[in-house]
Amino acid sequence: MIDRNESCTAGQIPMSYFACLAYLLREWTGVEHIEDYLSYAVYLLWLFYPLMVVFLLPGVIFLFIYVSVIFVHIYKRKNELKEAYSHDFWDGAKQMLATLWDGHARIWHGYELHGIENIPEGPGLVVFYHGATPVDYIYFMAKLLILQKRTCHVVADHFVFKLPGFKLLLDVLGVMHGPQEECVNALKEGHLVAISPGGLREALFSDETYVILWGNRKGFAQVAIDAKVPIIPMFTQNVREGIRTLGGIKIFRSLYEHIRLPVVPMYGGFPVKLRTFIGDPIPYEPNVTAEELSVKAKAAIQSLIDKHQKIPGNVFRALMERFHTRQKED
């Protein structure tokens, strides 16, 4: 071992970086055999590295969302002088965001959208199953804008509107708090509106069995009745294999029910195959009740799950589907 006054690279044979670090820490702390502790720490890091990765990967989605937030703020500042002269001020930003998210969808998930012809030319209420994150809906929205030049308003949980910096992005994308009157007005103006009746509860506490957790919610059905529009069911294959939650742990469920915030840890971020399927519209019927229409919508979502999703979901199988050249039949 070299003298304490010599550098780590002194002599004819330089020390390894690990030995150098151990030497410096031993001299600084005075702890003997510190290299044994460092070796154990490196072993633990190697052992738990895969676990750390699967908990960190979901953060990529939120990073992309914040990139979108920063982009719309830059876009607004750069083009604010044109606002008074253009009715389509945000079109460029929407197209750029759609291109960004569509690229992520194709590269990371080999994303496919099936049944887009089932979306009516006029207004309609898109009802979808909620994965651990709404990334599949974001992909759908991007593809819809690229293919049909249409935007789809969406109802989001109240906590989303409290996230710092999100207000402008939510306004640009037409994200709504979700009062029934606001949804009905948007539909009567000719827009598409999307909602997941299961909301956060379904996102956090459904699992690889794809159980629909709507409870007794039927307000969305009343919206469709009041606006006299069809309901369009939508489901994304393997959406729970991409990112999963620890919602099966009772303490997280109890905590959510008390504070109503998404405090359940997520893990995954796996590049599984995602396919979004849009089912046949449920037409408006003047004599149907909200409860009856809610049952019909739930049955339509369940039918899409039964047809396109193998239960229970399997991450490895969903990963292997990325390499299948034959598309699954609609």
CATH number of the domain where residue 72 is located:
3.40.1130
My answer on whether omega of the bond before 312 falls inside 30° of 0, hence cis, is: yes
Q: Under a CB-based contact definition with an 8 Å cutoff, are residues 275 and 143 in contact?
A: no
Q: Is residue 172 part of a domain?
A: yes
Instruction: Give the domain range for residue 220.
Output: 51-321
Q: Is residue 122 part of a domain?
A: yes
For 59, residues 6+ apart whose C-beta sits below 8 A from its C-beta are 269
130 is catalytic: yes
Looking at residue 5, its pLDDT comes to 41
Return the DSSP state at 13: S
Going by C-alpha positions, the residue among 168, 167, 152, 145 that lies closest to residue 79 is 168
Q: Under a CB-based contact definition with an 8 Å cutoff, are residues 193 and 137 in contact?
A: no
Written as tens digits, the pLDDT of the chain (330 aa) is: 444 444 454 444 455 665 676 667 666 666 666 666 566 566 566 656 565 656 666 777 777 777 888 888 777 766 654 554 445 677 888 888 999 999 999 999 999 999 999 999 999 999 999 999 999 999 999 999 999 999 999 999 988 988 888 888 898 899 998 789 999 999 999 999 999 999 999 999 999 999 999 999 999 999 999 999 999 999 999 999 999 999 999 999 999 989 888 889 999 889 999 999 999 999 999 999 999 999 999 999 999 999 999 999 999 999 999 887 544 444
Q: Is residue 8 part of a domain?
A: no
Q: Is residue 292 part of a domain?
A: yes
Structural domains counted in the chain: 1
CA torsion, ordered 87, 175, 147, 268, to nearest 10 deg: 150
Q: Is residue 145 part of a domain?
A: yes
Report residue 159 as tokens.
Answer: 């906590």
Block residue for tokens 């830059």: 74
Q: Is residue 24 part of a domain?
A: no
Count how many Cα atoms sit within 13 Å of the Cα of residue 89 in the half-sphere of its side chain.
18
Dihedrals φ, ψ of 125, to 5°? Answer: -105, 110
Q: Is residue 18 part of a domain?
A: no
Task: Tell me the Ramachandran region of residue 122: left when phi exceeds 0, alpha when psi lies from -120 to 50, beta otherwise.
Answer: beta
56-60, Cβ contacts within 8 angstroms, sequence gap of 24 or more: 56/269, 57/267, 57/268, 57/269, 57/270, 58/132, 58/133, 58/243, 58/266, 58/267, 58/268, 58/269, 59/269, 60/269
Name the active-site residue from 33, 104, 109, 130. Answer: 130
Q: Is residue 39 part of a domain?
A: no
- Report the first-to-last Cα separation within the chain, whole angstroms: 69
